[in-house]
Structure 1
Amino acid sequence: MEKTVTNTETLLLVDDGVPQATILIAQNPTSVTHLAAKELQYCIWQITGVTLPISNQLTETTGIPIYLGDLARTVLGVEKTSQRNIGEIESLVYDIYFLPGAIILYGQDTKVSTGVEIDYSIATDQQQLDSDKLQIPGMFDQQGTLWAVYDFLERFCGVRFYGPKAISVVFSRCPTLEIIPENIQRRPAIPHISGSLTWDWPLMKGQFGSPSNDAIRLYERRMRLGGIPWQTNHTLHSYPERFPKSRYPQFYGGEGFEKLCYSSDALARQVAQDAQDYFEGAEALGLGLPQSSSYYPVVPEDAAQYCQCIRCLQSLEPHQNDVSRSKNGVNLFNDGRASHLWFKFVNKVAKLLAKTHPDKFISTLAYENYFWYPEGIQLEANIAIAPCLAVRNHWHLDYRQNELEQYALWAAESRPLFLWNYYCFPEEAAVIQQWQCFPGFMAHYLEQIIKGYARDDVKGVFLCGIGEQVDFYITIKLYNDPLQSVDDLLDEFFSLYFGPASEPMQTFYTLIEQIYSTPQNWDQDGGFHQTEVMAWGRLGTQERMKQLEQLIEKAEKLAIEQKFSERVRYWKEGIWNYMREGRRNYLCGES
């Protein structure tokens, strides 16, 4: 959602190196407003060389006042701002609002932060300055004012947050900063983004130049991770320890059966009671649930093995052949062998929860052997579903077809729809097995599938892994605004980030993307994960590696200015040297 109103009168924030504005915050600002003011001041200093004053004294304003956070209540009126308390998604709406001679940046903000403390000097690569510690908002704290500031910096000041380190942030440097007003009221199109964020994996760490933890935490805020509080992962693995069979035999299938019994009404009642307790304020032990979530996760253990009692077998045996296979018979991953057993159990839990908390949801995954939609079962309306999609393996056409067909069935239902997206592939296997993968660049396919998510009203996405610099950036920007063009985003990235070396660096990315994203380059009769043999026997061939090497060498010659040469160096070390080592190790292993 976005509403815009354009004004014609420009506002001068800095005039040829002279400050013409003051950042105004409340006497006791929230941690959200404090960080928002620091970020606005820092970025405008990077652009103009001028440090705008931050003040909590309305009478000490120099030039144009820029009102942040709660101080906007005084300017806009309490009635307008209080209308935001109408729902979890609506609460994410923020304003960039222009009055005659004033700017207002405002959204709903959490009063007490759940976030960590960072050193802002370290986070912004200003180690020469004194320590500047501050608490940043937690992932799922409301932080509308901060989002408004970041949108303002990108939309009106040309800032681009391409990475955690200062060298990876693009500023359009000019001693004068003039704004053409345009009122904005909006929220992210997909209102939840979180994940298991693999910042330390080789490709991302190399491209970003090994940033500090403080810089990474700040970058997560800059990329607007968070949103509506939701978390759904494996939860029931803790139950056998909490409820051992010796004391709770009713949770199990009887003599000789050691697995939790998902046909057990007693187990369903206990899970429902845990959900009810959480919604009444109890801590969800070991689940890492964000505060004030409307969704309680219920998910079996990973690589689940199921109870084999008579009641469970009645749901399992008729579906033992509900397996997804490639056209030549290779078993794929996500199937339906346990879908009926699992979703019957989830239905029981959801029915019990609805009696006490009709406005809350049981949230579960569609994953592994309970990925398929359970035909013939009417699921309760208070079940939220999160299909798990390995979209970066969609070069395997049969795998892609299986996942997208079942996703479409889930998306057709009128229920809260979330997703897991596995951006850990193809790098995960390489990290675990200690080889180097062929990078999984695929921005154009990601655009296609993310725009589908927006059409299907996906509420949120959990990223299991974050991929690489460009694909991560493109993904987050499209989650925020899927109307953007991936080609425009790519052209802008390479032009701004690499300057005179943009042409060979964009060609370098595009060539890897074309190789990786073209199904004909893969063994469609083999497995659905990249292997070392696939990486360097089929994808990173000698001829292709020679082309890529020539592009990197050309970029190095063109990137004379220090900021561009350093960015090329990060890509050379993080991507090209990684690939070259992978192919060399593969060839050595063959000989």
Structure 2
Amino acid sequence: MVVICTILQVVTKRNSRSIGKKNLRQITGSIVSSVALIIISHLPVVAAASQVAPPIHIQINTPDHIGLPTSIRIVNNGLATAIIILPDDVSNQLELSAKILQSYIEKSSGARLPIRLKHLNNLQPNNKKVKIWIGFNPTTGKSKRRADWEQLDDDGFLILFHGNYDIFICGKTNWGTKFGVYHFLETYLGVRWLLPGPDGEYVPKLETVDVPKEDIWENPSFIQRRIGGLRGKWQTEWAYYNRMHKRAKYGHNLYNVIPPAIYSESHPEFFPLVNGKRLIPTEDERNKWQPCFTASGIVEAAVKNICRYFKMHPDEIFFSLGANHTTKWCECDKCRLLDSGGKNYLGLEDYSDRYFTWANQVVERVLKKYPDKWFGALAHANLAEPPKTVSVHPRIIPFITYERLKWVREDIEEEGKKVTEAWANKCSVVGWYDYIYGTPYCLPRIYFHQMAKYYRYGHSKNVKYMAVEAFPNWGEGPKYYLSLRLQWDPYLNVDQLLTEWYEAAVGKEAAPYLAVYYKKWERFWTERIPKSDWYTKKGAYLPFKNPHYLDIVTYDDISESRRLLETVLNKAVSKEQVARATILLRAFEYYEASAISYLGIVLKKKLPDKSDEYYKAMNRKRYELIEEFRRDPILIHPIAFDEKNFPEYRW
């Protein structure tokens, strides 16, 4: 049977459309074949833990649907007209996905769809009940669907319709099926997870739920999508609903590959020669040294330890070869001989050649025993640029660490793109490690459009893994929602996503004021900050421990922000909208207290009608709010302002 495919989202423009019945009848088999060839020609082969299909969204209409109703009703006037079917050998994760589907349909419509195992459903005589099959592969023996299934990434999914009574939500893995369930809820019920926690859910009230019979095939643009620094169950669950999935390992880890506790006495030569002396790290220094990569036997020791890890964790696909978090590298002659002799774009000595000479040998030997494994690494500090004289093993995925907000300056963007492309030319696949910190900043750091711009660029240059270090401040509203949405598909329309978020969060009447509030701070960070003395080209990220970005804040910035958020609260209608507006306003009060106290105490720019006590009180409020937020699962600041690490934030 012929399958007519319509690409809804292509590389730079993804607007949905469907093929009408009349057009379906007119399209010939030869044209269908041509379309299929075009689609296949755009499927890049990606070297990764599992092959990923292209980041496109496809709706598939087939002649099965011609002459039949164009939608399937699963709830009718508050009554369930469908049941949810699970495999008899259902896993806990798959069962949870079915319960989430059941729960949100009930929240929306009041109808509770029964959940049954397949063999129990077979005993039921009612064949006219709509069935939503969760986790079943409906493509077995169906040649028209086999290609769709085979092109699915582990996180991708299919939503397929058979006749008038069967809906299939399925992925190759439980993760893919789960994301298919979330997509189903978002697409057909309008559910959104805007912020963590119950108040962050947006669930429209529907008496009747009709599901259009348009088959969907979807893969993520980035194989890995991650936001780091989340705190607590609510924040983690929120991220999963928005399709976060950490799939690679890449963090600082060489202290586990060559553990000092095992080798400090038996093989002191494994440790770096620094200032003419062998540095044997203590437990407190576990992350403050790099191995001597040319030491005799160090490759064999690493291989032994990594193979032991995979033996103990046979289901693991990745192992991290991330260098330790230090610039203390070995200074022995053999290591130096491998170096390029120059400095990288961060102004640091380039040690990539010695590191990858060692890493390539380790990976090659591990793969002889465990041929399906992958290895993450950090293109960080002294490893910021690719090696000059050696290749990078195709099973090593380097994560380029950089804060790409800095790319708002064209010269920095140009340099950063050259580095990305150099790694992309050297490696089979590349990862990005970005810094979009919420805390410890004392202002909302907003750059929605800049974020979308560099996500799209990265995807176009074979960046397939995203890791974002965030430590969120949820006073930044849609920032993290937008990040995860764009990590799934960077070609989505940013302004549409933002409008959708604002209206769902606080209602249509209040939404324009919230949009103005965040647009104001987007201009601050993308237009005003790059011209400030605080903004620097130096380093991989902006100096977040230095609060002098507050130097350019004005009292008008703060008063106008308060006016906008108070208007949002006043115009919010439902209790859910009021709750979300209250969260944003309460988070702003920390920004407000920080900026005003800084202006008055640090910069001595005091308003004529405000006393010294006013500024002291605002400063005290900062600390009171931080303490209050410790007990709030949404507003908690993940990074504590201790005096040791953040002395300049304590004024």
TM-score scaled by length of structure 2: 0.72
- Taking structure 1 as reference, are residues 581 and 84 closer, same or farther at Cα in structure 2, changes over 3 Å only? farther
Cross-structure match for 2:494: 486
Q: Distance in 2 between matches of 1:34 and 1:346?
A: 41
SS of the residue 1:345 aligns to:
helix
Q: Distance in 2 between matches of 1:190 and 1:363?
A: 15
SS of the residue 1:91 aligns to:
coil
Task: Please state how far the C-alpha of 1:504 moved relative to its aligned partner.
Answer: 0.5
Q: Distance in 2 between matches of 1:169 and 1:504?
A: 21
Letter in 2 for 1:106: C
Which ranges in structure 1 are unaligned for 5 or more consecutive residues? 110-141, 200-212, 284-290, 326-334, 431-435
1:114-513 matched pairs, under 5 angstroms: 142-199=174-231, 213-226=232-245, 229-238=247-256, 239-252=258-271, 256-258=277-279, 260-279=291-310, 281-283=311-313, 292-315=315-338, 318-319=341-342, 321-322=343-344, 324=346, 335-395=348-408, 399-423=412-436, 425=437, 427=439, 430=440, 436-465=441-470, 467=472, 468-499=476-507, 500-513=509-522
Q: Distance in 2 between matches of 1:322 and 1:233?
A: 21
Q: Distance in 1 between matches of 2:151 and 2:88?
A: 28
Cross-structure match for 1:66: 131
SS of the residue 1:143 aligns to:
helix
Letter in 1 for 2:469: C
- Taking structure 1 as reference, are residues 13 and 466 closer, same or farther at Cα in structure 2, changes over 3 Å only? farther
- More off after superposition, 291-300 vs 367-376: 291-300
SS of the residue 2:154 aligns to:
helix
SS of the residue 2:556 aligns to:
helix
CA offsets per residue over residues 282-313 of structure 1, 9 Å max, x none?
34xxxxxxx63443221221023111222223
Cross-structure match for 2:83: 22
Residues 406 and 413 in structure 2, CA contact (< 8 A), matched pair in contact too: yes
SS of the residue 2:595 aligns to:
helix
- Taking structure 1 as reference, are residues 490 and 557 closer, same or farther at Cα in structure 2, changes over 3 Å only? same
SS of the residue 1:557 aligns to:
helix
CA offsets per residue over residues 147-190 of structure 1, 9 Å max, x none?
11111111222111212322212122121111211101222121
Is 1:553 aligned to 2:574, yes or no? no
- Taking structure 1 as reference, are residues 214 and 382 closer, same or farther at Cα in structure 2, changes over 3 Å only? closer
Task: Please state how far the C-alpha of 1:10 moved relative to its aligned partner.
Answer: 1.6
Residues 323 and 377 in structure 2, CA contact (< 8 A), matched pair in contact too: no
Is 1:542 aligned to 2:555, yes or no? yes
Cross-structure match for 2:586: 573
Residues 373 and 409 in structure 1, CA contact (< 8 A), matched pair in contact too: yes
CA offsets per residue over residues 91-119 of structure 1, 9 Å max, x none?
3332101111221111234xxxxxxxxxx
SS of the residue 2:215 aligns to:
strand
Cross-structure match for 2:158: 95
- Taking structure 1 as reference, are residues 88 and 383 closer, same or farther at Cα in structure 2, changes over 3 Å only? farther
Q: 1:105 aligns with which of 163, 169, 172?
A: 169
- More off after superposition, 368-377 vs 439-448: 368-377
Task: Please state how far the C-alpha of 1:399 moved relative to its aligned partner.
Answer: 5.0
Letter in 2 for 1:561: S
Is 1:42 aligned to 2:103, yes or no? yes
- More off after superposition, 146-155 vs 407-416: 407-416
Q: Distance in 2 between matches of 1:390 and 1:46?
A: 40
SS of the residue 2:87 aligns to:
coil
Percent identity reads 17
- Taking structure 1 as reference, are residues 504 and 63 closer, same or farther at Cα in structure 2, changes over 3 Å only? farther
- More off after superposition, 295-304 vs 400-409: 400-409
Q: Distance in 2 between matches of 1:82 and 1:562?
A: 45
Letter in 1 for 2:102: Q
Which ranges in structure 2 are unaligned for 5 or more consecutive residues? 1-55, 280-288, 605-651
CA offsets per residue over residues 203-224 of structure 1, 9 Å max, x none?
xxxxxxxxxx443343233122
Q: 1:52 aligns with which of 113, 119, 122?
A: 113
TM-score scaled by length of structure 1: 0.79
1:519-530 matched pairs, under 5 angstroms: 519-523=529-533, 526=536, 528-530=542-544
SS of the residue 2:445 aligns to:
coil
Residues 186 and 192 in structure 2, CA contact (< 8 A), matched pair in contact too: yes
Residues 232 and 365 in structure 1, CA contact (< 8 A), matched pair in contact too: yes
Cα RMSD (Å) of the superposition?
3.0
Task: Please state how far the C-alpha of 1:233 moved relative to its aligned partner.
Answer: 0.7
Is 1:3 aligned to 2:34, yes or no? no
Structure (1 or 2) with the larger CA radius of gyration: 2
Cross-structure match for 1:586: 598
Is 1:516 aligned to 2:530, yes or no? no
Letter in 2 for 1:476: L
- Taking structure 1 as reference, are residues 265 and 193 closer, same or farther at Cα in structure 2, changes over 3 Å only? farther
Where do 4+ consecutive residues of structure 1 move more than 6 Å?
Answer: 78-89
Q: Distance in 2 between matches of 1:374 and 1:397?
A: 26
Letter in 2 for 1:154: E
Q: 1:562 aligns with which of 575, 588, 596?
A: 575
Equivalences, count:
515
